[in-house]
Structure 1
Amino acid sequence: MHNKHSFFSASETSIATTSVPQPQAPLSAAAAAANPLDIEVSWACHLDEVREAQRLRHQIFAGEMGAQLQTSLEGHDVDGFDDYCEHLLVRQGQSKQVIGTYRLLTPAQALRAGRTYSDGEFDLSAIDALRPRMVELGRSCVHPDFRQGGVIMALWGALASFMLRNKLDVMMGCASIPMWHNGIVSGDAAASIWRQLRAKGQISQEYSVVPHLPLPLEQLNDQVDVEPPALIKGYLRVGTEVIGAPAWDPDFNTADLPMLMQLDRLPPRYRKHFLG
């Protein structure tokens, strides 16, 4: 993993207003295949860098997933939480184009924002005790030419380092199942995945959050059998817990599973890789 890190806590962040560059042309599969490990990781320090992440998010969420984004800037995914978040960027080494991003809301910034994004989807009172140590992850996406292990590992390595540096040890976020998952309507797919996770005992017994707009599981097709997406399987492998039933997000047209990771519960092999 080739990365350049610039770590800072929320209180140390200053996003300066600069000119916004013109959007770059989309990368081609051929460009991605040329050197898939030639990537760089950094944290956005200026508004133009945040805009790069927002353009990628718009491309994926609106263009690919069909989300109805309430945005203040055409061609960008912008919401009220962006100004409070740290923005993690993965760039293709040669073109410097942003090909992956995550945003992080730290406990201090969540207080300033008044809530987390997930508070809008779930009653999170069951995890209130964790909030002083908890980072909310969101708006994660990767350019379609680069959806392989290298980019994901780069993102997760940078996230783990950020957590250690800022003495935080809990990550919370949602795994979203799009409207169409393997050709199946998202509600049926999400219900199938939820039933499988519950049957395998992979739902947290310690924490249980409640969706504000629950997916009507009892009304959905119980004959559908959908394999959980690779991303959810990956989260579960590294010790992430599903902490509640899925919520329906009408703007993004997704079913969202709330998930929680505590760094002290990372399996040993992943602890060694991410935490050193």
Structure 2
Amino acid sequence: MRDLPLPTLPISEIRAPRRSLHERPDPAARAAHAARPKLEVVWARHEDEVLEAQRLRYQIFAEEMGARLSPPKGAPAGHDIDVFDPYCEHLLVRATTDGDERGPVIGTYRVLTPAAARRIGGLYSETEFDLTRLRHLRPRMVELGRSCVHPDHRSGGAILALWGALAEFMVRNGLDTMIGCASISMRDGGHVAASLWQQLRQTHLAPIELQVRPRLPLPVEELEHDLQVEAPALIKGYLRCGAKVLGAPAWDPDFNTADLPMLMRIQDLPAKYRRHFLGA
């Protein structure tokens, strides 16, 4: 087993808030709290940890969402693997209980740093969008991708734990911009995605100097695009944190999704999220 490069920063365990010294929870509540898994955020340090994340990704993207994956030759079955993975740092959330040495991976992000993007020759997002207008941001811009959370842990705690670790990572490494593709299911034929784009372009579109073009555009004008729809939870979370949509969605036929290009800068974090994630 080959060790991966050491993680760029240590992430401490996410713990529950302290209780009041005067509070006396009943024994049943105390037992239930003790049995509840704690969330631990870590950077993958070994290949077997990356494989755990890739197994979770396969479960979500292939088995749950029906994506048609094209892993490299020789890749193990039941894993979502692509050519970008060896160049990325992989952030994991584990659900641990008392006595567990290492709980299962229940959430993940992969992070492609500017240096790693130069080594592989570009970003995953560039396979879907022309990012020419973002050239000046690249020295301090990371790409986030392959985010997913196990269906048993989608109440919000796992994604908040991941975001807190990502914010620390950015600040500690002098990085200030995050980019990625936010996916919308096209199981309905793309009507929801087209309608959501029409809504967000009115409220959250980036200025023209930051806008990008899809290489395979979603044919919005051929779809119903005036439905009143609600953004998926992950996209709503990004928008609350100050993210902007960079342009019209691309169609990803392999994942059967419409992908919105999104950009978020640390400087645009609202004050309450800055306090929450950075203590600032």
What TM-score results when the alignment is normalised by the length of structure 2?
0.83
Q: Match of 1:98?
A: 105
- Shifted more, 221-230 versus 146-155: the winner is 221-230
Larger gyration radius, structure 1 or structure 2: 2
Residues 186 and 193, structure 2, Cα contact 8 Å, conserved in 1 = no
What pairs with 1:2-21 in structure 2 (closer than 5 Å)?
A: 7-8=7-8
One-letter amino acid matched to 2:152? D
1:125 aligns with 2:132: yes
Alpha-carbon distance between aligned partners in 1 of 2:65 and 2:111, rounded to the nearest angstrom: 22
Q: Match of 1:136?
A: 143
Q: Match of 2:265?
A: 262
Stretches of structure 1 that go unaligned for 5 or more consecutive residues are 1-5, 10-30
1:219 aligns with 2:222: yes
SS in 2 for 1:203: coil
Residues 142 and 175, structure 2, Cα contact 8 Å, conserved in 1 = yes
Q: Match of 2:157?
A: 150
State which of 195, 208, 213 in structure 1 corresponds to 2:211: 208
Query: Shift of the alpha carbon at 1:223?
Result: 4.4
State which of 221, 243, 248 in structure 2 corresponds to 1:245: 248
Alpha-carbon distance between aligned partners in 2 of 1:32 and 1:225, rounded to the nearest angstrom: 40
State which of 229, 232, 238 in structure 2 corresponds to 1:229: 232
One-letter amino acid matched to 2:46? H
One-letter amino acid matched to 1:105? L
Aligned residue-pair number: 244
Query: Shift of the alpha carbon at 1:230?
Result: 1.9
The verdict on how the C-alpha distance between 1:43 and 1:214 changes in structure 2, with shifts beyond 3 A counting, is same
Residues 134 and 168, structure 1, Cα contact 8 Å, conserved in 2 = yes
CA RMSD of aligned residues (A): 1.8
Q: List structure 1 segments (4+ residues) > 2 angstroms apart after TM superposition.
A: 31-34, 222-225
Deviations 1:77-126 (A, max 9, x none): 01000000000000011260000000000000000011100010000001
Query: Shift of the alpha carbon at 1:222?
Result: 3.1
Q: Match of 2:87?
A: 84
Taking only the aligned residue pairs, the percentage that are identical comes to 64
Deviations 1:222-257 (A, max 9, x none): 343321112211111110000111000111110000
Q: Match of 2:119?
A: 112
One-letter amino acid matched to 1:254? T
Residues 65 and 179, structure 1, Cα contact 8 Å, conserved in 2 = no
What pairs with 1:163-178 in structure 2 (closer than 5 Å)?
A: 163-178=170-185
Q: Match of 2:49?
A: 49
Query: Shift of the alpha carbon at 1:34?
Result: 5.3
Alpha-carbon distance between aligned partners in 1 of 2:200 and 2:226, rounded to the nearest angstrom: 16
Alpha-carbon distance between aligned partners in 1 of 2:125 and 2:40, rounded to the nearest angstrom: 29
Q: Match of 1:35?
A: 36
Residues 41 and 162, structure 2, Cα contact 8 Å, conserved in 1 = yes
State which of 183, 187, 190 in structure 1 corresponds to 2:193: 190
